[in-house]
A and B are shown apart, each in its own frame.
Chain A
Amino acid sequence: MASLLPAAEPGQVVITGMGVTSAFGRGTAALLDGVLSGTPAFVPVTRFSAEHCRVKVAAQLPGTPLLADEIAAALEDACAEAEAGPELRARTTLLLALHSDPATARDAEASRTVGDTGGLVAARCGFPAAPRVYSAACVAASTAVADAAAMIVSGQADRVAVAAGFLVDNDSLALFDAGRALAGDGQVRPFSAGRRGLLLGDGVAAVLLESRAAARDRGIRPAAVLAGWGRAGDAYHVVQPRPDGSGLARAMTSALRRAQLDPADVGYVNANGTGTSFSDAAEAAALHRGLGPAADRVPVSSTKSVHGHALEASGLLELVVAVLALRAQRLPVNAGYLGPDQDCELDLVLGTAREAGLRYALSLNAAFGGANTALLVGAA
């Protein structure tokens, strides 16, 4: 097997700035309060008519925010925390993960692309044009983070900005409703008996990743370390996860190997946990396969239970949640729980947020096509 990067320098990639917007509002404080409260943000959809859908709720910001505006605001917040001014931004690669643009779908000439939004954001925030948009569904943003880390470790860049966004729209709600993927009872219940599916949620996030040396040279104290990352495929099905969780487990193992850590070092897992029957069971199997006996003890929650599924942005939104949990030393709640499911035997954070002496947190994501990612963050 090929060697993983980095082979000898764990902790080389650090997070120096974060910005986020969710249905809980703008900023990291609002998101942390929301995920610690365990109170779901799902409300009736009013941004557009959901009359034709069976499920008419989602976690949404009020009004009709514009995606480019929200991503730009999150990037500005991340850059402010990282003290990244115009000169630094002008020589920093920006990677974007975005959901498909409803306006593009209505452009008969196919002259617009999702990348246009990326170009708009990059220009507004002073970054060079983004080389690509990551579109790999629910692992799009986490894949962009892994690529950013690989760019830094391989010496291609000193720092990379990653931004991602999804705002609930009519097309997405209609699609997920048609696929009967949405929870008809209006609650997301990850790993719980009686879970009935996912609910969509607004999510916009941005982070600045840097080499530790580059951050030190600028005199910037990191917010966290991106200790490890891993990705693997299931080679199993068009849309269903491999039931034994072996693909996601390989992604976890890869992340731990890069970080040179043992499963017992992981103090919290922010799970993919969509609230979908077979997906949650496969993820529980993956946790036991990937972490071994440590899976019996590690606290797990899926914060999709409160902020909803942000699709292409979920990997970055949830990475920010993991970093916030590290900073606060408090573990977010796995909301919506009704009772145990024998296929999901995990130490779930139930009821109220849990105090923890936390050094490392693992953020997991899985997507259509059997795509799996694991991001491992540690205290700076």
Chain B
Amino acid sequence: MMPQVVSVRVRNERGRRVRLWIPVLPVLLLLSPVLLLVLASAAIACLLWRINPIRALYASWRLLCALRGTRIEIEQNRTAVLVNIR
């Protein structure tokens, strides 16, 4: 199952916090024209490099789905960044 939400939290040196919840599916739908172009370019690149585009697409899809559960948390002094893929 592909990730549903990417949450990003940022805290700057002054203690100001920014929280973002990015819904993945709506963003993908919004970017679908660009994604189609990217997919077409990737398919051409695959054919040039003699890679099966279907296998490449499937592997990329698996990679996207496997991102679910990733959590990256970096804190330094008073600043912090948290990226959580759910």
Same assembly = no
